[in-house]
A = this chain, B = another copy of it.
C-alpha cells in the first residue's frame, strides 16, 4: 500500500473492520479515543523528547528509530481514523473546511 494510491476511506475501513472483528467497538467512544490519542502521541513524544531538532530530523533516517516512529505514526493515524468513523466526521471535508479558515487567518505572502 502507498499513500499515492490509497484512499482515506480504505484506511478507515481497515481499522474499523479490525476493531469490529475483536468486539472493540463499545470502547470506541469519542472520549476514550481522544484519551487513547493522548496516550499514543505521548509515545511519539517519548522517542523525541531529549533529541535536538537536528537529531529529530536525523532520527527519521536511522533504521531503528525510523521503524519506531513509523510504528507510533501508524497507531496515531489509526485512532484518528477511528475518531472519524465513530463521529461520522469526514476527514477530507474537515481538512478542506479548516484550510479555508486558515488561509484567511494566515494569508500567504504575495
Contact with B along A81-110 (1 / 0, CB 8 A): 001101111111111111101110010110
Please indicate the chain B residues that have their CB under 8 angstroms from the CB of A36 in the complex.
45, 49-50
Which residues from B are CB-within-8-Å of A71?
94, 97-98, 101
The count of residues in chain A whose C-beta lies closer than 8 Å to any C-beta of chain B is 81
Is there contact, CB below 8 Å, between A59 and B78?
no
Residues of A48-90 at the interface with B, using a CB-CB cut-off of 8 Å, are: 48-54, 56-57, 59-60, 66, 69-71, 73-78, 80, 83-84, 86-90
Q: Using CB atoms and an 8 Å cutoff, list the residues of chain A in contact with chain B.
A: 1-12, 14-15, 18, 21-23, 27, 29-32, 34-54, 56-57, 59-60, 66, 69-71, 73-78, 80, 83-84, 86-99, 101-103, 106, 108-109
